[in-house]
Structure 1
């Protein structure tokens, strides 16, 4: 038999055609752009943050893809306890300079309580969480993997050289991108934590946070420890009432297994870490760093709150699409700012000025909005919030000063940013600096006339002013001795002169004095702005949320996505895999339906028929819906899911000395311990890593366990017997990926279309081997062996006398044992008579079934005779 299939990815239509993908008519929107940068980068040079750009309505078109990809997370140092047993790949994409320090305090018991405090050192944001976890600390590990802290502080007695706690061992194994830091017990003080919260949290947030964490001993201890660590190791001080503190409970969010995050390519592409072909890359049409962080956080931990989160997001996206509008429009400081910190402070003010000037555009663009979420965003961008800090800046900073990039322009900007008259010493230093620059220009003009050469004046931060000559002018003569420190580069000569060095020194001293005096004015300005930092944080969050919603609207408009409905049943019409749909126009859509009656779906089919793509699609679409995005389908309805699990890869773990099958069993053990009726589990080819007999038995046992749990499961397998055995189980639905076989040419074509019932095609493995170019003699031998095994199986089925004899013996033996138990039970004659009559009827019925050649069902395990003989 010849096997033919398209060369493109699974679920791409065969050359003959595909069903038409229809989607609601959408009109692309237009949007505008402007440039700004991140708010409040820290003054510490270790955590400085580059600028970025984002868009606002009414100026230019919003790009369909991002121009560049954010840098992946930098490697983290190993733990203090030594080399890790294995390295877990990072699941996130985060700015490496956005450093996060975390402290964990745990209360051990039957239900461990864990208090976590995260501090974003680049934004001055504090996140507090208290988690009621199980003995395996599943939610704690997931929380750490989501935030990816660079350092995790733990109680010293939980870390080596003391016997390590269970939590320490699990973090050391599964959160390999972080460094574990032990800290003495005296730093973990509830009283100190409450005092720090009262002192450093914004006044408006402090009281509400105290109510939220009241009685949460472990959270306040963690806050005290992480603040002590920052002060001791980094000499940081925090401005009073400047931290943005948030309490983030674990409730209300979906837990996605880390294996599922990697297998579904939620954040990174499995084959190419630089590729954007992942769910994060697809949805990341955001244009601000705040939007990127919010999107990433929502993808790895989607919401389960229908009315408070998902419905308002759907309403906002629907309104943005309907109106054809695309909307895009912290504070830890060292006690003694260095010169570079001073320069960074001026840049911070200029970036904040640009940002606040553009927020008013968002306010005007949302003037016609009607949805509650968009109206809330508009209120947060109102002039009452934006104008006070903007007025402070405009009173101090020159209105025409903007952020620049070249070294000389940066130096001039930092020198002349503050308005004249704000500081007398600053005005004097500026005058000296300006005269020095003019002297340098005049000096170069004198060199040109004296030596009759083409010389240009250049500047960089290390050498300051230097000279550049063209090498072509000195082919027949030597460079004059006045030019020293000569460096030849690609047709030019870079050099200095002694007089220019003296001018550089004068310019440098005057520039440093000007920047120092400017910093005094700028620091006073920043102190005034910090009093309004709470409102500025809210504006940033509003812009981040709007940016994420605009990214979702971009996809919904361009790709024809539809708004999901939130119901108790999963129903999808003509749904597409979001990643493959984005890269191919020939993707074949499929339908999905899962309810209480069809919660466990067994998917069979030939190799390359699209089973893996089919089962992964439903999990990706569920996550997209609970992030708040529209989905690629003609109709979509989803239930609210609290956990998503996956067992789909065939990777081993050499570092942990685990084979493919061992990894598979470990992950399935994790799933079985944590899955519940509000979960989705996607399982692909379970049991393929061991022998056929053992693999079938294990897969069948785990399938029956998942059926009893009532989780929604998509179970792809090549074991046809599983489909047959589970066919009559309540809640089970058999599906297969259809193929078309041409009798004349004996060719098989994949249709990538799901159909009911188990697969009926036989010999597709050999057909695929033939298509891959195996020698004919090997294929012929394989066909001979396959035919022989099929005949033997048929012979066993047809050997009715032997089968009937074995079944009769078993039935009689069961009857004998049952009669013995009844005789020894001591029951009265009336009850015994009723039981014997019922037993007689059952025995006659089952014996009649044996003589008629039907299958006798074993009520104890639900397996029919044929499957029982084979397994």
Structure 2
């Protein structure tokens, strides 16, 4: 039992704590808060008091600061403590704000109607960013909780409790672990003690992942017990101590927030990071796959995301995050997309039905945990009713579409019991009444009939009493007096003798009668019993639905997959995309377009060809800024990415090999919080590429080396090109270093390309056409004019450029020609010294 001093220590601002026992409500609050602190340390407890959720003491002060609400005080003779609260009707929006601010939230609700004594309250909900299951608090995307432990490598567990998806992997390096965490955008992370105890490691982690870091239990024995409790045994795939600890801790933490229930988690899948095309977080950001690099910009996901269901959008994200390496799987998806492209009626029919479907993945998870609400059960029935129609549409389809059809189990018995049990438009929450359909439960019908008879008796009472007494009697009800008979004061002395007065107002008097009170008690008894019975009947329905979770989950997965396939087909059909062929080692794109930029420019977009093979393994692209170099690079890479998720691509024709990884180094980003300049970030990303690229990798490098001096940058850029040439990676390299174009004759397979531009009387014209050969100029001064630099600056820049060019051609260029003409085999040491002396004088003049 918490003492007054204990309350004083918690509340902080409490006054007079030693003068007597705590008020009973504050005592209850502190006891519940102690319970919350044990289960979810650091959480704010929202404590229901009538129509508000209140907080006290330090929690009140935190809530006031975080939400910007007024801080008041609860006072009595012996106590005063800070108090702040939010209306019940606005709970969800305030919970969202608290979670976004990195604060966990506990809810304690009243379990009974207020009476003369202390109202019973219990902790009903625990909210953390990574363990949300309530649809009203969730977005459509995945909502991952992550857990990280070390041992034989870095073990990562990822759980989306809203769908039951649970997977894990082991990574050899911290960088690979960080990449995977970033790609999955975990909302909350549990870190093993070895992270917490290493200040430098923890600081590095916090700098890279500004998400909520929570404390989990990583004791190996406890984690093993958790795994056995959840799955019956420790899964064989969890072969290392680190995996056991990561997976066990995430289950234990989630169980503590779900009141001990984890029925939605039925299996854990261990995946191999190398089983899909490698896309680093840097590559995903550079290619703007999920997040635009500029405010209001578009992404590849947004260009494709015409999915009809929330589950379909999540599945599309997963496909983009982990493109395939297996050719048979890619061809299976491409076959399905092509079948839907060629059959517009089938495609339109599928998409029209999916538009009416609810989020079956999350519904199945809530059914499994038996926390599904009446409205959600009705949504489940509506979604299941679509399955027979989808089955009929897919009849006769083979391949992947046939496999999807086989998983769309209709479950007519489930639909029938839901329709029989629930009214057509059930209430949102339990306890509101009017939930179970008439005729489903004879006992419930009898209670309702009895209550209805009582209400009918009450409804007729006014007319009967007016006729019996001849007085203008009114029958009414309120929560204080219940049912009562009311007359004006002028008629109060005329009421019958069986009337008993219960209230006197200024101009009216209120009465009751024994039979009215008895009938009122009967109505309340029947309605209360009916409410309890409705809850029991709905509980039985929940339990019955939970028996079908496995089939519901399979159908949910099939719906999501069908949604993505039909979406890719719709995009391909509406935008003129075509099916790519898989080649053994050649990139051939005819009239390729950038899938996102094309949407913005429409007909103004200029398509380009791209050819890469054994004799064109490296493409060095030069030309002015704004001419389209980066767009060209991204076009090739995005076509490769789309191919390996099983999508058609924005081309007239395409042949593409299967790449093992896509590496990118684009743009200028710093990490000042981590102590890294723009150039250091660039070099770190380049280092990661050079260490991991293989002959099956696709590499795009844009302006490597521009963050340092010209000579340093040029040297680094050339050395990187030479390294990738040695590796044999498919490489596209955009640069302003014209010195690199001479490598075309020195490195076999390196080819120069340029983006066409022409300096004309009205200024510089961009043609956005990629042609063979090196560009004549970078047109930097001309681009500066277009950007709006003052005329005096661009005029001076043009003059300086001419002077520097002349010097280079007349001085440095002459020296270069002299050096190239020397016969070194016949040159004596004295002659060499003489030449060096002469050249030095020329350079210093």
TM-score (norm 1): 0.66
Structure-1 residue corresponding to 2:261? 237
Larger % of helix: which? Answer: 2
Structure-2 residue corresponding to 1:172? 206
Is 1:779 the equivalent of 2:804?
A: no
Cα 1:404–1:728 change in 2 (3 A) is: farther
Contact 2:191 2:213 in 1 (8 A): no
Is 1:759 the equivalent of 2:787?
A: no
Structure-1 residue corresponding to 2:232? 198
Is 1:397 the equivalent of 2:432?
A: no
Further displaced range: 746-755 or 714-723: 746-755
| Distance in 2 of aligned mates of 1:441 and 1:650 | 80
Relative contact order (alpha carbons < 8 A, sep ≥ 6): 1 or 2 greater? 1
Structure-2 residue corresponding to 1:379? 406
Contact 1:105 1:222 in 2 (8 A): yes
Post-superposition offset of 1:648: 1.2
Structure-2 residue corresponding to 1:314? 334
Structure-2 residue corresponding to 1:563? 579
Contact 2:671 2:677 in 1 (8 A): yes
Contact 1:103 1:222 in 2 (8 A): yes
Is 1:124 the equivalent of 2:164?
A: yes
| Distance in 2 of aligned mates of 1:805 and 1:262 | 45
Cα 1:799–1:752 change in 2 (3 A) is: closer
Post-superposition offset of 1:781: 2.4
Structure-2 residue corresponding to 1:659? 677
| Distance in 1 of aligned mates of 2:289 and 2:407 | 31
Structure-2 residue corresponding to 1:717? 735
Is 1:222 the equivalent of 2:246?
A: yes
Post-superposition offset of 1:187: 5.2
| Distance in 2 of aligned mates of 1:498 and 1:656 | 77
Structure-2 residue corresponding to 1:106? 150
Cα 1:786–1:533 change in 2 (3 A) is: same
Tell me, what secondary structure is at the counterpart of 1:578? Answer: coil
Tell me, what secondary structure is at the counterpart of 2:674? Answer: coil
CA deviations on 1:729-788 (whole Å, 9 max, x unpaired) are: 02211110012344xx374321111111110146x1222233444444433322222122
Q: Where does 1:672-751 land on structure 2 (aligned, <5 Å)?
A: 672-742=690-760, 745=761, 747-751=763-767
| Distance in 1 of aligned mates of 2:610 and 2:274 | 28
Post-superposition offset of 1:572: 0.5
Is 1:364 the equivalent of 2:392?
A: yes
Of 543, 566, 569 in structure 2, the residue corresponding to residue 553 of structure 1 is 569
Structure-1 residue corresponding to 2:282? 259
Of 155, 166, 169 in structure 1, the residue corresponding to residue 192 of structure 2 is 155
Further displaced range: 427-436 or 574-583: 427-436
CA deviations on 1:173-193 (whole Å, 9 max, x unpaired) are: 433334243434255544652
Contact 2:694 2:727 in 1 (8 A): yes
Structure-1 residue corresponding to 2:622? 604
| Distance in 2 of aligned mates of 1:136 and 1:755 | 42
Structure-1 residue corresponding to 2:439? 420
Cα 1:243–1:382 change in 2 (3 A) is: closer
Contact 1:76 1:178 in 2 (8 A): no
Post-superposition offset of 1:435: 7.2
Structure-1 residue corresponding to 2:599? 582
Post-superposition offset of 1:270: 2.0
CA deviations on 1:2-33 (whole Å, 9 max, x unpaired) are: xxxxxxxxxxxxxxxxxxxxxxxxxxxxxxxx
Is 1:298 the equivalent of 2:319?
A: yes
CA deviations on 1:381-416 (whole Å, 9 max, x unpaired) are: 244xx2243344345335xx14678x9xx987x523
Post-superposition offset of 1:334: 12
| Distance in 2 of aligned mates of 1:516 and 1:98 | 36
Post-superposition offset of 1:805: 9.9
Contact 1:154 1:183 in 2 (8 A): no
Is 1:793 the equivalent of 2:808?
A: yes
Tell me, what secondary structure is at the counterpart of 1:183? Answer: coil
Tell me, what secondary structure is at the counterpart of 1:159? Answer: helix
Structure-1 residue corresponding to 2:299? 278
Contact 1:415 1:514 in 2 (8 A): no
Post-superposition offset of 1:575: 0.4
Cα 1:435–1:577 change in 2 (3 A) is: farther
Cα 1:616–1:422 change in 2 (3 A) is: same
Cα 1:437–1:758 change in 2 (3 A) is: farther
Post-superposition offset of 1:438: 11
Contact 1:366 1:374 in 2 (8 A): yes
Cα 1:418–1:334 change in 2 (3 A) is: same
CA deviations on 1:192-223 (whole Å, 9 max, x unpaired) are: 52453227xxxxxxxxx946x16355434433
Structure-1 residue corresponding to 2:590? 573
| Distance in 2 of aligned mates of 1:787 and 1:606 | 17
CA deviations on 1:234-287 (whole Å, 9 max, x unpaired) are: 532234x962543433242122121221221111222226x6x21111111111
Contact 2:594 2:638 in 1 (8 A): yes
CA deviations on 1:61-116 (whole Å, 9 max, x unpaired) are: xxxxxxxxxx999747399xxxxxxxxxxxxx9827964333333324xxx2x433
| Distance in 2 of aligned mates of 1:441 and 1:143 | 70
Post-superposition offset of 1:693: 1.9
Cα 1:773–1:635 change in 2 (3 A) is: same
Unaligned runs of 5+ in 2: 1-44, 47-95, 105-136, 355-361, 463-502
| Distance in 1 of aligned mates of 2:330 and 2:184 | 22
| Distance in 2 of aligned mates of 1:587 and 1:377 | 37
Structure-2 residue corresponding to 1:30? none
| Distance in 2 of aligned mates of 1:165 and 1:376 | 50
Cα 1:558–1:107 change in 2 (3 A) is: same
| Distance in 1 of aligned mates of 2:807 and 2:664 | 37
Contact 1:193 1:221 in 2 (8 A): no
Cα 1:441–1:716 change in 2 (3 A) is: farther
| Distance in 2 of aligned mates of 1:189 and 1:367 | 47
| Distance in 2 of aligned mates of 1:642 and 1:805 | 42
Post-superposition offset of 1:811: 7.1
The number of residues matched between the two structures is 648
Structure-2 residue corresponding to 1:455? none
Unaligned runs of 5+ in 1: 1-44, 47-70, 80-92, 200-208, 444-481, 485-496, 818-850, 852-864
| Distance in 1 of aligned mates of 2:647 and 2:259 | 43
Post-superposition offset of 1:804: 4.4
Cα 1:800–1:557 change in 2 (3 A) is: closer
Of 272, 277, 288 in structure 2, the residue corresponding to residue 249 of structure 1 is 272
Post-superposition offset of 1:638: 1.4
Post-superposition offset of 1:812: 4.5
